[in-house]
A and B are shown apart, each in its own frame.
Chain A
Amino acid sequence: METIKLTIDNRQVEVPKGTTILQAAHQAGINIPSLCYMNLPYLAQEHKPGSCRVCVVEIPGRKNLVPACATECTDEMKVLSHSLRAINARRTVVELLLSDHPKDCLICPSSGNCELQKLSITMGIREINSVENAAMSTYRKDASPALNRNMDKCVMCRSCETVCNEIQTVGALSAVNRGFMSVVAPAFEQELTDSPCTFCGQCVAVCPTGALTAVDNTFHVIRALADPNKYVVVQTAPAVRAALGEEFGYPPGNSVTGKMVAALRSIGFDQVYDTDFAADLTIMEEGTELLDRLSRFLDGDKNVRLPILTSCCPAWVNFFETNYPDMLDVPSTARSPQQMFGAIAKTYMAEKLGIKREDMVVVSVMPCLAKKYECQRDEFKVDGNPDVDYAITTRELAHLIKIGNIDFNTLKEEDFDRPMGESTGAGLIFGVTGGVIEAATRTAYELFTGKKLEKVDFHELRGMEGIRTASVNFDGTYIHIGIAHTLGNARKLLDGIRKGMYNFHAIEIMACPGGCIGGGGQPLHRGNSIVLKARMDAIYKEDFNKPIRKSHENPEIIKLYEEFLGKPLSEKSHKLLHTHYFSHPKK
């Protein structure tokens, strides 16, 4: 490989040709600050509009300062990252950003987690040189069921735009207006709810400031917990435990399941359950549906729609309802684990516990913003009472724990309540890309072949590649599987299916990078792939150590069918655990 030698601040660096100054500096231990730059190597997406001008550096001899993020190193280049000229320019640029930014840091949802705030702290800015009452660019606030837009705080880094358009191909956000009033917004500055937004929340995950934030339900939960007439049960999604620790100082990749359970119990939830239980239930329903379609297909039934598509991810559901209204009969009709949980909790469990439906409050802790929207959908309500009352994010749970004055780090590990806290490794891996289909495969294999599955780990289905394909040998019958994470990759697969390019039997889709572990409700990943990979490893490790790793072997699931549902795809299952989809053509 051709290399280039250059000097940055008197330090010699040798880098491969094509390296930017920012990367080279990083390699040399020089942290040039940046704001709009975002690198998503696992999605092959580098966002470097070179627009914030925070990373400008001086190259003696050149007329102007250059942005380190978007300037390639050349041989014998001399870079000054902290010359007076560079420092003054950088500081002035940050001052300019601050001059057009609300100063309500103390009560901002992103306080402590804001890249602009960090810049201001790092650079020691104590005053902003601009005229008194300098104009601010202000915009109408926009609220949706899942996320809020306060674009007064937008710094025009356009990361959200790149994520929404390039990675998710949703196309809900783009720059509008010109000059001082330019901002990122849905077309014609519509509200988000009138746009093709799927509420995937990836814009929130990459927003460096408090411009895009999640809807906060923490106080609703606190109020419900304080209500003596309410019986409050909580479910926690698989990806939450793999990231919650990060909010309490644990390095990424530390699963904190036991502490999380202890914290939830300490906060005062009446029952601490696991969404993984509902994930196992999903496998029973979806797996059976897959086998049913598959058997009919193999028997020559021409009316069977294959591949079957997973339906656990609510952003993905929104996406295909908006973009593929002609394919609504392709995805599985199985509800997501969150909604299956709610439906079972407010029927089977409520009955068992002797509690009236309206007195039970189901709270879900999710890595996801779209879940906040999903639980409000009309089809998941009975007489106006939702199966899941409040969905909160991993970040909100961290706040709840802090509000509850709980010292998370010294908590003793505890276990989930039964029966809805019993789960398998299959349910757990729902949190990562490829996990749902692997869980389904573990069960479908045994149901299809009637043989015991010896090798439980399907490594061919794992990884961070955007689109993965594999063929699994079901005792002579090969099942073709496709996996996509991010909606842009989902679109590629779906468009291929529409054109008849693929012969998949089953496809798993998750809207977020890496699956739910990279969800918009998680501690903000800001595109950091190392964090996502660590969370993924934590989930697989926990799965590996689980005593039961196949959904159909979950004893409480077996009992649920025996006592209540009958069998998968029964009439009761259809009523409680399946749904239908609606066409929302792109507006």
Chain B
Amino acid sequence: MYKMQLLVCSGTGCRASASATIVEKLNESLKAHQLTEEAQVVTTGCFGFCEKGPIVKVIPDNTFYTQVKPEDAEEIVTEHILKGRKVSRLLYEDPENKEHIIDSKHMGFYQKQMRIALRNCGVIDPENIDEYIVRDGYSALAQVVTDLTPEQAIDMVKQSGLRGRGGAGFPTGLKWEITSKFSSDQKYVVCNADEGDPGAFMDRSILEGDPNSIIEAMAICGYCIGATKGLVYIRAEYPLAIKRLEIAIGQAREYGLLGNNIFGSKFSFDMELRYGAGAFVCGEETALIASMEGKRGEPRVKPPFPAESGYMHKPTNVNNVETFANVPVIFLKGPEWYSAIGTEKSKGTKVFALAGKINNVGLIEVPMGITLREIIYEIGGGIKNGKNFKAVQTGGPSGGCLTEAHLDTPIDFDSLVAAGSMMGSGGMIVMDEDDCMVSIAKFYLEFIVEESCGKCTPCRIGNKRMLEILEKITQGKGSMEDLDHLRNLAYVIKDTSLCGLGQSSPNPVLSTLENFYDEYVAHVKDKRCFAKQCKAMAKYTINPDVCTGCTICARNCPVDAITGEKREPHFIHQEICTHCGVCYQKCKFNAINVE
């Protein structure tokens, strides 16, 4: 037994900041100081606090080092491990009182979190099944296959109130029950790991940090619905998640946790991976199934639902990664425990990828019913650079923008929909006063236009037309009539598109039209962008009182729109200016005004 363990985050984010080198250096240093018997370096999954990565956590004293660099490894070993003195410069500093915080549980970022799906992320070595087993891994599966009938197990999932975390929030237990009722020679359990929302990475983090929980949950699902085969549809852009899943599947097979007669029961289950090529629409279950079958990844009309006719026309249960990650805990702690968390209709927790103009960017897991204010100001540490909060976009390209007015709404599946957005997979992007909401809507539409499969008319052509209208508006060429067309198109696309992607694609437009209509009107009527983001509308002028005549603006202007003598105030010729904004960026004296 080791006296101490150094947990080093080896999620994709921290690895990008050289956490693999940190592991190397720590090991070298331990060896040099002959501490390899005393302390062990463990590579773990994501801690969530990506803003402050790479993270190194020392246990048992729970010291949480942030923004560690490879060159800090030696100091951590010599000071902390050898002499028992914490390296204070690597500790997290409380933004309020500037004090160092040692244990992460005292940090604002973690205080309101509750980790169920992420329970093992940042705790265990995902490449070692023993560490999962030590944390009660596979005991839920053992309990289910040896003590429970499929009906009893499904009942427990139903009682827990677990709803699908992929976005739509369909009750998981009910989905299992429906699939279990269709008889067939072969059924399939599919894990949807085709995470595609911009900025969302909870599925990746779970697969990288705790792959065995997914394997265990899929096996439980297989037992419940009568399937012997599991398939994980995972995007090929997640090489680390794929590698760890493959390792975990291999180890589970070795331990007999996958294969024939699991735990001596009559139940057999095995699984394989299927790689996606990164099409967003393949997150839609029928498109996902088509893609797995080797067909063009596009959705089809439902019914029949996959529960009746899915992969290879066999009954198929498709659940998202995060949904599966919740399943073993429900059996371990009981459905009553689980259903005590959350709101009336949304039980448990939800993982959000917190991003945008917020101090603590990262992956968080919070109980349903928490307010946006708690997430943004307490967990997220407020808006960057002391700016004012403007909006938060939830649910990715399918979601909508919520405002100040929604900050105190307890968030769950239904309240977000009522507010004109949705849970989606859990992307949460915070915007401040510098963000133009028309441009934000345009950004999401660009994504949708890029990712539409092209099958149905409203999504294929309608979204393109909406984008064209938004481009026109942001160029200062929009009319009030365009706003009417935009609204009509948005409603029709929502009302008539074939799949969830199309049906929700107008949400960013509709929610910004609803909540920030004055910004649209300003763009259209006054040709003004409050946030000064729409460059085509910006008017750049030079304040002669501030200008020093350094000539840097004139030299950098690509169209020679600026003239002036050296050491004399310069002047921008509006008829030549193309609003590119280079002068504004280059001026060292803040002499350029933007209106």
Q: Which residues of A contact B (CB under 8 A)?
A: 48-54, 56, 64-65, 67, 70-72, 85, 88-89, 92-93, 96-97, 99-100, 129-131, 134-135, 155-156, 174-175, 177-182
B374 at the interface (CB under 8 A from A): no
Q: A174-B296, A182-B453 are in contact. Are A92 and B488 (CB under 8 A)?
A: yes
Cβ-closest chain A residue relative to B297: A178
Flag whether B449 is at the interface (Cβ < 8 A). yes
Counting chain B CB atoms within 10 Å of each CB, which of A88, A177, A180, A182 scores highest?
A: A180
Interface residue? B451 (CB, 8 A):
yes
Query: Given contacts A96-B461, A180-B464, are A175 and B296 in contact (CB under 8 A)?
Result: yes
Residues of B in contact (CB 8 Å), total 36
* Interface flag for B531 (CB, 8 Å): no
Pick the contact of B496: A56, A100, A174 (CB < 8 A).
A56
- Mark B residues whose CB is within 8 Å of A: 279, 296, 298, 300-301, 303, 449-458, 460-465, 468-469, 472, 482, 485, 488-489, 492, 494-498, 503
Contact A179 B496 (CB under 8 A): no
For the complex with contacts A51-B498, A53-B496, A175-B298, 14 further pairs of A-B residues with Cβ separation under 8 Å are A48-B301, A49-B300, A53-B456, A65-B495, A89-B496, A92-B488, A97-B461, A100-B464, A131-B469, A156-B457, A178-B279, A179-B450, A179-B460, A182-B454
In the complex, chain B residues whose CB is within 8 Å of the CB of A99: 461, 465
Most buried by A among B450, B488, B496, B498: B496
Query: A50, B453: Cβ atoms under 8 Å?
Result: no
Specify which chain A residues have a CB less than 8 angstroms from the CB of B489 in the assembled complex: 92
B527 to chain A, nearest CB (A): 17
Question: Residues of B contacting A96 with CB < 8 Å?
Answer: 457-458, 461-462, 465
Most buried by A among B464, B472, B497: B464
Quick one: given A130-B468, A180-B460, A181-B454, are A50 and B449 in contact (CB under 8 Å)? no
Per a CB cutoff under 8 Å, which of B298, B300, B454, B497 touches A53?
B497
Question: Which residue in chain A gives the minimum CB-CB distance to B449?
Answer: A179
Q: How far is the CB of A359 from chain B (nearest CB, A)?
A: 53
Contacts of A180 in B (CB 8 A): 449, 452, 454, 460-461, 464
**Alpha-carbon distance between A186 and B49 when the two chains are bound, in angstroms:** 49
When distances are taken between beta carbons in the complex, the residues of chain B under 8 Å from A85 are 495
19 residue pairs bridging A and B, Cβ less than 8 Å apart:
A48-B301, A50-B301, A51-B457, A53-B456, A53-B457, A64-B496, A88-B492, A89-B496, A92-B462, A93-B462, A99-B465, A131-B465, A131-B472, A175-B455, A178-B453, A179-B450, A179-B452, A180-B460, A181-B454
- How far is the CB of B287 from the nearest CB of chain A, in Å? 12
Contacts of A175 in B (CB 8 A): 296, 298, 454-455
CB distance from A410 to the nearest CB of B (A): 45
How far does the Cβ of A53 sit from chain B's closest Cβ, in whole Å? Answer: 5
Q: Which residues of B contact A93 (CB under 8 A)?
A: 457-458, 462, 492, 496
Instruction: Give CA–CA (A134, B300) in the complex, Å.
Output: 28
| A23 → chain B closest CB, angstroms | 15
Shortest beta-carbon distance from A429 to chain B in Å = 40
Which residues of chain B are near A130, meaning CB under 8 Å? 465, 468, 485
Query: Total number of A-B contacts with CB less than 8 angstroms?
Result: 113
Contact: A51 with B455, CB < 8 Å? yes
Q: How far is the CA of A82 from the CA of B52 in the complex (A)?
A: 58
| B473 → chain A closest CB, angstroms | 10
Q: Which of A54, A70, A175, A178 has the most CB of B within 10 A?
A: A178
Known contacts A51-B456, A182-B454, A100 near B461 by CB under 8 Å: yes
Q: Which residues of B contact A182 (CB under 8 A)?
A: 453-455, 460
User: In the docked arrangement, what's the CA distance between A181 and B485, Å?
Assistant: 23
Assuming the A-B contacts A99-B461, A134-B468, A174-B296, are A179 and B492 also in contact, with contact meaning beta carbons closer than 8 angstroms in the complex?
Answer: no
Question: Given that A131-B482, A135-B468 are known contacts, is A156 also in contact with B460, CB under 8 Å in the complex?
Answer: yes
Residues of B within 8 A of A64 (CB): 494-497, 503
Nearest-neighbour CB distance to chain B for A64, whole angstroms, equals 5
Consensus secondary structure, chain B interface: helix
Kindly list chain A residues whose C-beta atoms are within 8 Å of the C-beta of B458: 53, 92-93, 96
Smallest Cβ distance from B504 to chain A, in angstroms? Answer: 11
List of A residues within 8 angstroms of B498 by Cβ: 50-51, 53, 67
CA gap between A134 and B453 in the complex, in Å? 20
B468 CB contacts on chain A under 8 angstroms: 130-131, 134-135
Q: In the bound complex, do residue A156 and residue B455 qualify as a contact, i.e. CB atoms below 8 Å apart?
A: yes
Highest count of chain B CB atoms <10 Å: which of A48, A96, A99: A96
- Give bound CA distance, A182 to B452, whole Å: 9
Question: Using Cβ atoms and an 8 Å threshold, which residues of chain A touch B456?
Answer: 50-53
A70 touches B301 (CB 8 A): yes
Chain A residues, Cβ within 8 Å of B469: 131
Are the CB atoms of A92 and B451 closer together than 8 Å?
A: no
Q: Which residues of A contact B449 (CB under 8 A)?
A: 179-180
The one of A50, A56, A135, A177 in contact with B464, judged by C-beta atoms closer than 8 angstroms, is A135
A50-B301, A156-B460 in contact; A178/B454 too (CB < 8 A)?
A: yes
CB distance from B228 to the nearest CB of A (A): 31
Q: Which residues of A contact B301 (CB under 8 A)?
A: 48-50, 67, 70-71
For residue B488, which residue of chain A has the nearest CB?
A92
Which B residue's beta carbon lies closest to that of A157? B457
Closest beta carbon of chain A to B494's beta carbon, Å:
7
Cα distance A129–B472 in the bound complex, in angstroms: 14
Which residue in chain B gives the minimum CB-CB distance to A131? B468
A53 to B495, CA, bound (A): 10
A85 to B488, CA, bound (A): 11
B457's partner among A48, A52, A131, A181 (CB-CB below 8 A) is: A52
Question: What residues of A have a CB within 8 angstroms of the CB of B296 in the complex?
Answer: 174-175
Known contacts A49-B300, A50-B498, A96-B462, A129 near B485 by CB under 8 Å: yes
- Could you tell me the distance in whole angstroms from the C-beta of B308 to the nearest C-beta in chain A? 13
- Measured CA separation A56–B497 after assembly (Å): 10
A312 to B462 CA separation, bound complex (whole angstroms) = 47
- 6 A-B pairs with least C-beta separation: A182-B454, A50-B301, A179-B452, A96-B461, A92-B492, A70-B301
List A contacts of B454 (CB < 8 A).
156, 175, 177-182
Residue of B nearest to A155 (CB): B457
> Quick one: closest A residue to B450, CB to CB?
A179
For A54, what are the chain B residues with a Cβ–Cβ distance below 8 Å? Answer: 457
Complex Cα gap A89–B494 (Å): 10
Measured in the bound complex, the distance between the Cα atoms of B496 and A71 in whole Å is 13
Q: Which residues of B contact A53 (CB under 8 A)?
A: 456-458, 496-498
The residue of chain A having its C-beta at the shortest distance from the C-beta of B280 within the complex is A178
The residue on A at minimum CB distance from B472 is A131
Residue on B nearest A175 in the bound complex, by CB: B296
Which chain B positions have C-beta within 8 A of A92? Answer: 458, 462, 488-489, 492
Chain B neighbourhood of A48, CB < 8 A: 301
CA distance A180 to B298 in the complex (A): 14
Known: A53-B457, A181-B454. A89 touches B465 (CB 8 A): no
Q: Which residue of B lies closest to A50 (CB)?
A: B301
Chain B residues with CB below 8 A from A51, complex form: 455-457, 498
- Nearest A residue to B489 via CB reads A92
Q: In the complex, what distance in Å separates the CA atom of A177 from the CA atom of B485?
A: 28
- B494: chain A residues within 8 A (beta carbon): 64
Q: Which of chain B's residues have a CB closer than 8 A to the CB of A156?
A: 454-455, 457, 460
How far is A56 from B454 in the complex, measured between Cα atoms in Å?
18
How far is it, in angstroms, between the C-alpha of A50 and the C-alpha of B302 when the chains are bound? 10
Q: Which residues of A lie under 8 Å from residue B492 when comparing CB positions?
A: 88-89, 92-93
**Shortest beta-carbon distance, A398 to chain B, in Å?**
32
Closest CB-CB distance, A122 to chain B, in whole Å? 17
Closest chain A residue to B473, Cβ basis: A131
Q: Find chain A residues with CB under 8 A from B488 CB.
A: 88, 92, 129
Residues on B with beta carbons closer than 8 Å to the beta carbon of A65: 495-496
Q: Are A178 and B465 in contact (CB under 8 A)?
A: no
A44 to chain B, nearest CB (A): 17
